Amino acid sequence: MDGSLFVLLLLSGLFWSSSGLFRPYHYINVRMSWPEAQSYCRSKYTDLATVDSMDDVNRLVNIVDAGYSGSVWIGLKTGTQTRWVWSNGDGTVTQYRPWSAGHPISQNQCGYFNFGVWYSSPCTSKLFCVCYNAGGYIWVKGWKNWMEAQDYCRQNYIDLPSIHNSEEQYQLNSTVPSVSWVWIGLFQDSWEWSDKWSRSFRHWAADQPSQSSGSGDCVGMSRANSGKWAQYSCDLKQPFICYGVAKFQSQEYHYMNESMTWQEAQSYCKARFIDLATADTMNDVNRLVNTVDPGYSGSVWIGLHAETEYRWVWSMGDSVISQDSMWHPGQPNGDGECVMSLNGSWYDESCSTVLPFVCFNDSTGFMITKTAVSWRDAQSYCRQHHTDLASISSPEQQNLISDKSSLWIGLFLDSWEWSDQKSLSFRHWEADQPSQSSGSGDCVAMSRKESGKWARYSCDLQQPFICYGDDKLIRKQIAKLKFSCTGKCTLSDPSLQMAILNELSQKLKSMGLESDRKLSWRKNEDGEVFHRENKSTSSSTDCNFQ
């Protein structure tokens, strides 16, 4: 592979700009506060939605339920630093800053151009403007405030202009009559993206962001207002949009058709891969089933085993309950290992009791089913028709399911843990499992013929097993890459790094240089993949091939 990959990169014309970055978006129709939504997105995808262009805005609008007219959280939140940035998202003003003497004035938040220099002015001032299009600059007559000028340019051209050097300044000066004061794309900004993306594209509604006290530090998008943004209290509960690829797709399973005890299988997996297989979702269960040889009808070891500590956890895998638990006084009192909700409080109850139940669906939120079944049957129904039994993380969510009748929720008592110490509590037991009979075993295996259901066995039983992680016996090839690009390069965004890997993978396949090898970035000691090259040193990054 020595120099071929670097040559490939140069020949392919692989230049990246943020305007060409495509993020997969996911609308989550569950009401959460901004911090709760941020945590959810980071655990399931990459982060709350980041937006770079009007194309992104339109895609966000189109994924929100058509019948919903409220606002949804995106990843923008107020920061601590105020800086001058560009309307089209080019980030902060660079070394080229031809301000007039005495400018910028701190209380003036928008920038205009006159006689070859920049001035700051209140954004409500009425001036002419200049728009930027693919063919250059367009002078627009007609009095507009800064936001009206921005809307006009985005609707009819591309955006208000950004100026990065004296050549662009000269071209603008040639377009505008010398007596005209015209808005350019310069404005003061103190907002930042949850994923620390540096681009400064904004799409505020009229009179936003508000300067009034208590107007809120977090940003929501309104589908009913053409995707415009406004600031709200971060404690407000509303739906939200995540971006990135679902994280369950990244775990790689390996079926080992060799009979070992649970401890032997664990040692083997840790030596060659990462550990015995873990499962966080039904998607993982289905992939585990498909990993096992079709002709094998017995059980296979996975990484779950018994522990001595009992704790209340959620069926969906959300680990232990939060401090906002809503137990009724005196509860839990030992009546059972599953939990029902009644009049806004929780009660422990025998899992065999038949009750109505409440499911959670990623798209539609909480769904109450009036049919009375056992807790395990309720769990199976929710996983088949929705996502899982409901998890409740706040009093506001509890209020959404407050019902005078008893309802099963996703809380249950658990004493099992994963070999790799993963804390998620997703379980997929067979009927009457885990067995409480003496000597029933402390280790867990999955049955392929039982739709991947789990049961407990003696850890000394010898049977096949499933590992997860990269195979350490496969030799890795490392190539050092050097990237060049025009304009501002921001390569720290995880979705951009993934997009580059996908592009490289396709290029390698087209040249016959890659079959089933997996590409990944190699991080440096500081946790970063890329480092900017200094004039006196050469900089590169490593890409792993396996």
Segment (H or E) for 413: strand 407-418
Q: Where are the beta strands (DSSP E) in 157-227?
A: 182-193, 218-222
Q: Distance between the two ends of the chain, CA-based, in angstroms?
A: 12
For 236, residues 6+ apart whose C-beta sits below 8 A from its C-beta are 33, 34, 216, 218, 220
Q: Render each residue's pLDDT in the chain as its tens digit; 546 residues.
A: 333 333 333 323 333 333 445 788 999 988 899 988 988 888 788 889 999 888 899 999 999 988 898 999 999 988 777 888 888 877 667 678 888 888 888 778 788 988 888 888 888 888 888 898 877 888 888 888 888 888 899 889 888 888 888 888 888 888 887 767 888 888 888 888 888 776 778 898 888 887 765 678 899 999 989 899 999 999 999 999 999 877 655 578 999 999 999 999 999 999 999 999 999 888 899 999 999 998 898 999 999 999 888 889 899 876 666 655 789 999 999 989 999 999 889 999 999 999 999 998 877 788 899 999 999 999 999 999 998 999 887 777 788 787 668 999 999 999 899 998 887 788 999 988 887 665 678 999 999 888 899 999 999 999 999 999 888 776 556 667 776 666 566 677 777 777 787 777 776 665 555 445 567 777 666 667 777 766 544 445 555 544
Rounded to whole angstroms, the Cα distance separating 546 from 475 reads 6
CATH architecture of 25-244: Roll (3.10)
Rounded to whole angstroms, the Cα distance separating 241 from 221 reads 10
Residue 296 is classified by DSSP as -
Rounded to whole angstroms, the Cα distance separating 517 from 544 reads 10
| pTM score of the predicted model | 0.48
Query: Tokens at residue 116, please?
Result: 């070859």
Rounded to whole angstroms, the Cα distance separating 384 from 367 reads 13
Find, among 484, 477, 485, the residue nearest to 520 by Cα.
477
Find, among 258, 251, 265, the residue nearest to 443 by Cα.
265
Find, among 318, 201, 246, 319, the residue nearest to 46 by Cα.
246
* Angle between helix 494-510 and 4-11 (nearest 10): 100
Rounded to whole angstroms, the Cα distance separating 46 from 44 reads 7
Beta bridge partners of 529: none
* Domain limits, CATH 3.10.100.10, in the chain: 25-244, 253-469
Distances (CA, A) of 376 to 259, 362, 427: 31, 20, 11
Find, among 316, 239, 244, the residue nearest to 27 by Cα.
239
> Each residue of 213-247: b (16+ CB within 10 Å) or e?
eeebbbbbbbbeeebbbbbbebebbbbbbbbbeee
Check if the beta carbon of residue 171 is closer than 8 Å to that of residue 116. Answer: no
> Each residue of 178-211: b (16+ CB within 10 Å) or e?
eebbbbbbbbbbebbbbbebbbbbbbbbeebbee
Query: What pLDDT is stored for residue 324 in this prediction?
Result: 57
Rounded to whole angstroms, the Cα distance separating 57 from 50 reads 10
Distances (CA, A) of 67 to 70, 220, 223, 226: 9, 17, 10, 14
Query: What pLDDT is stored for residue 515 in this prediction?
Result: 47
Query: What pLDDT is stored for residue 12 in this prediction?
Result: 30
Dihedrals φ, ψ of 371, to 5°? -65, 130
Segment (H or E) for 402: none
Burial class (CB in 10 A: 0-12, 13-18, 19+), 333: exposed
For 28, residues 6+ apart whose C-beta sits below 8 A from its C-beta are 37, 40, 41, 239, 240, 241, 242, 362, 363
Assign domain 253-469 to a CATH class. Answer: alpha beta
